[in-house]
Structure formats: C-alpha cells, structure tokens
Amino acid sequence: MTLLVGLAAQLLHIALMGAAAPMLIGVYAWMQARLAGRVGPSPLQPWRDLIRLSHKHTVLAESASGATTIAPVASVAATAIAACLVPSFALGMILSPFADLLLIAGLLMAARGAPALAAMDAGTAQGGMAASRAMLLACLTEPALLLVLFVLALLAGSLNLDLIAAMQLENGADWRIGVGIALAATLLVALVETMRHQALRLDLGGRDLALIEAADALRLLAWFNLIGAMFVPFGMAPAGAGPIAWVVGIIAWLARTLLLAVALALAHIMHGRIRLPRAAQVLGVAVVLGLLAAIFLLADMGTA
Amino acid sequence: MTGAASTAVLLLSIGLLCARRIDTATQLCTLQALFAAITLGEAATAIAVLAFSLNGLVLPLAIARANNVTILSLRGNALLSWAVTLALLVVTGLIFAKVGADGLVAAGVSVALLGPLLIVLRSHALAPALGLLSSQNGLVLVAAALPDVSLPAASAAAVPLIPALVLAETWLRRCSA
C-alpha cells in the first residue's frame, strides 16, 4: 500500500514539475516586468515558445560534431532526473531512497556542463567565451554548495533529502544558527545558479533550443524545490500521507514557489544583471557563509 | 524562531559592514534590534519591547537626525578588513565550539565583536555610535541566550547607554565646531 501511495505521489510530482516549470519562467518574467513598471508577457508565453520551437527543424553549424546534438538531450535529462528526485509537496515518494544531495548536486552540475560543451563544439568565439564563464561560475558554486551539504549532513546524519526534509519538518521553526547561515549561503548560490546564459545557446535552434529552454525552466524549479525541501519544508505531506495532506502540500508548495519567485525577481530588479566579477564575489561570500555555518553548527552541537 | 531571529541578527551585522550609506546602515541597525528583541521576547517580553524601542527606534532616529555626511567611506584595505571579519567570526565560533557553549551565545558574542570592527573600518563621525549600537544588539542576543538571566542584567543589556553617550558626544562636538 505504501509503495502504491509513493508511486502515486511520484507520478503526481512528475506531472506537476512538467506543467509548472515553463509556467514558473513565465510567472517570473511577468513579475520582473511588473516590478519594473512594464506590462510584461503572459505567464503562458514560455509554453507557446516551447511549442513553436519544437515544431522547427534543428539547424547545426557545419563544424558541429555529435556533442552538439547530444548536449541538449543530456542537459534536459539530467535536470529532469534531479527535478524528479527533489520532493515538492510530499515526502516518501518512490524515488526518495535515491534522493541523495550529492547526486542531485552532481546532476544539476552535469546539466550545466552539457550546454557549455555544445557552445564550445562549434568553435565560435562567443560560444567559447560564454562556456568558459559558465564553467568558472560552476567551479565557484561547487565549494559553497558542498559546504552547505556538509552542514545539513552533520545535522541530519545523512545526505538523503527526504530524511533532511523530515528532520526540518520535525524541528519546525526552531532553527539552529548554522542552518540559518547555510540558508543564506544557498540563496546566494541559487541567485547565481539560476542566471540564464543567453550566449550559450547562440549556436542552437529549433528542437535543441526548446530542450535547453525546458532544462533551464526545470532547473529553476528544481532549485526552488531544493531550497524548500532543505530549509522550509512546511506543509509538506509526510511519508504515507493521503490525498488531503497532498492538497495541503501542493498549496504550501505553490505558496513557497511563488514567494521564492518574487524574492528572485526583486533581487534581479534591485541589482540588475549580475556580471561575472560580481557573480564571483557573490559566490565567494556564499563560500564564507557556508564555512561559518559549519563552524556555528559545530559550536551549537557542542552542547547537544 | 529564536534560531532564525539570531541568524538574522548575525547576518545583518555582517551586512552592516558592507553598507556604504549611513541611512542604509541605520535601517539595518533597526532591523537588527527588531530581531534581537524577538529573540529576547520569549524570556522577557517587557524588556524586549524596551530594547527595541531604544535600540531600534530612538537611537537610529537620533543618528539619522545627527547625520550630515551620507557616505560611509571605507578606511584602509577592504580585503584585509574582510579577512579580519572572517577570522574574528571563525575564531569566536571555534572557541565557543571548544568550550561547549550555546550557539546563540556564540552568535551574540560575534555580533558584539563585529560592532567595534565597523568603527575601525569606516571613517565617519557616526560610525562609533552605529558600531556600538550593533554591539548592544549582540549583548541583547547574549542576554536572551543565558538561562535565568536576572532582571537588572537584562535591563542593562537592553539600555544602550554607551552608544547614546557616544552619539551625544559626537553631536556636541559638531555643535561646538
């Protein structure tokens, strides 16, 4: 019975992710426009763009190899698997034993690396520069994220996201200081990680571009879900709970996602486009905060 | 709730070191006082209200009135100052981890130590008042963390006597100039 409930929750989660990811990009673009005093595009626009692009044929550069063809599929596949593993509205989904934070972080990084490979493949100057920038940021993101994961693993005794979310649900609003600082570090990492690198997709078109756009949308949603599950899993249905708890979980998930979208839109409106040196600084602060989170957690655990 | 509020106080004290305008710094101090009062509120509500009124409203308003130069200019090497900040936080955390004290106490002491760092890093006439006000919020956090803290001790932590005196001295010096 528990297996069936877990399977049903997993299928509903996958359906929600598929439907909501492009919508989230649309809502985010609409919010950004409204906050800047413009009318903004319809929240359904990303869906229309995806459908339009998927009907077009792919045009590849003469110098492009098979890597350009494989990269968009690899990127969307890695992001989709990561999005499936991160719980959104319910714990105890059928794939929850595989929801290891290191695996999820690795999948998100692989999804980031694939478009960079495609951008370098054609051999254009702009693509190569964009790929080197994206990879530099990925290198700086990694230590900050690993420090945050270390903090959570120290606290929960496991890197399984389901166990961490269950522990946070149990603790409620009674946060340790280290966890709060880790949240600040994660928000900074997410701010840089959710940036869209337009130059990476200059050599792509048609279905390949649609796949990269879909991967971007899924990554944004996966990051929001990851922050929610790691730090604020309030309202999430516990493992084995029924449909009523799921409805509450979906409402809480929607509220959390919208709140994070507003916060991200506000951050981007207030600071404008984050350029490479600024992004490197932000990630540097995230690394320092991750280190402080670990130290303060150790200080806190001295009394535990 | 206490943990989240004390984290906010610590992060705001780090943010205070980055503030480039005195009005932004004052607003950060007000927010810091609010979160410190929330932390203290569970143990002593009346003293928390007093602490927020004095540290979060009266003194920031007085600082805003006394201000005539808006930019908080940096003194010395920025990289070195960040290294000092990080070292201070790491050493405080490690000492408290070794002693086995509460994380809330570690955060309070860190905030109290970061306050005077603002005085060293910024060359503004009101930087001492702001730095000491931030330290006062750290003391409120420490008072909230200590079990069975006496009423006079909590009241002493809540009343920003030294920042007020420093502010008065700055104001008098400006009047006499």
Interval A107-163: pLDDT, tens: 988 888 888 888 888 778 888 888 888 888 888 888 888 888 888 888 888 888 888
**Per-residue confidence (pLDDT) for residue A112, from 0 to 100:** 85
Q: Which residue has the tokens 């319910």?
A: A90
Number of domains in chain A: 1
Contacts of A92 (CB under 8 A, 6+ apart): A2, A5, A6, A9, A162, A238, A239, A240, A241
How much is the average pLDDT of B134-147? 85
The pLDDT tens digits for A168-226 are 888 776 677 888 888 889 988 888 887 777 777 777 778 888 888 899 899 999 999 99
| Domain region containing A259 | 2-303
Alpha helices in chain A (DSSP H): 2-35, 45-54, 66-85, 101-121, 125-156, 161-171, 177-193, 206-231, 243-271, 276-301
Percent residues over pLDDT 90 in chain A: 14
Supply angle C-alpha B1, A177, A165, rounded to 5: 75
Is the CB of residue A302 less than 8 Å away from at least one CB of chain B?
Answer: yes
Q: Do the Cβ atoms of B11 and A184 come within 8 Å?
A: yes
* Residue carrying the six token digits 């070191």: B17
Residue A271 at interface with chain B, using a CB cutoff of 8 Å: no
Phi, psi of B62 (to 5 degrees): -65, -40
pLDDT band, very low/low/confident/very high, at A304 (cuts 50, 70, 90): very low
- Does residue A245 have a pLDDT over 90? no
Q: Of A176, A184, A298, which is closest to B97 when you measure between CB atoms?
A: A298
For chain B, the domain total comes to 1
What number is the average pLDDT over the span A241-263? 88
Among candidate residues A90, A14, A292, the one with its CA nearest the CA of residue B10: A292
What average pLDDT does the structure give for chain A? Answer: 85
Q: What's the pLDDT at A254? A: 92
pLDDT digits (tens, 9 = 90+) for A69-86: 888 899 999 999 999 999
Output the pLDDT for position A173.
Answer: 62
Indicate the pLDDT class of residue A1, thresholds 50, 70 and 90: low
What's the CA gap between B64 and A17, in Å, rounded?
48
Residue indicated by tokens 């486009």: A273
A231 CB-near residues (< 8 Å, 6+ apart): A168, A179, A182, A183, A186
Identity of the amino acid at A302: G
Beta pairing partners, A160? A100
A181 → chain B, closest CA residue? B7
- Cβ of A300 within 8 Å of Cβ of B4? The answer is no
Does residue A242 have a pLDDT over 50? yes
Q: Rounded to whole angstroms, how far apart are CA atoms A135 and A112?
A: 8
* Residues from chain B contacting residue A154 (CB–CB below 8 Å): none
Question: Can you give the residue range of the structural domain that contains B67?
Answer: 2-176
pLDDT of A274 > 50? The answer is yes
> Does residue B102 sit at the A interface (CB-CB below 8 Å)?
yes
Average pLDDT over residues A5-32: 89
The whole-angstrom distance between A237's CA and the closest CA on chain B is 22
Q: Does A177 touch chain B (CB under 8 A)?
A: yes
The answer to which of A90-104, A200-214, B74-88 has the lowest mean pLDDT is B74-88
| Residue A15, pLDDT above cutoff 90 | yes
Angle of the A45-54 helix axis to the A2-35 helix axis, nearest 10:
110
Please state, for a pLDDT cut of 70, what percent of chain A lies above it. Answer: 98
Cα of B69 to nearest chain A Cα, Å: 24
Binary contact (B106, A303; C-beta < 8 A): no
Residue that the structure tokens 């709140």 belong to? A259
Find the mean pLDDT for residues B1-10.
Answer: 82
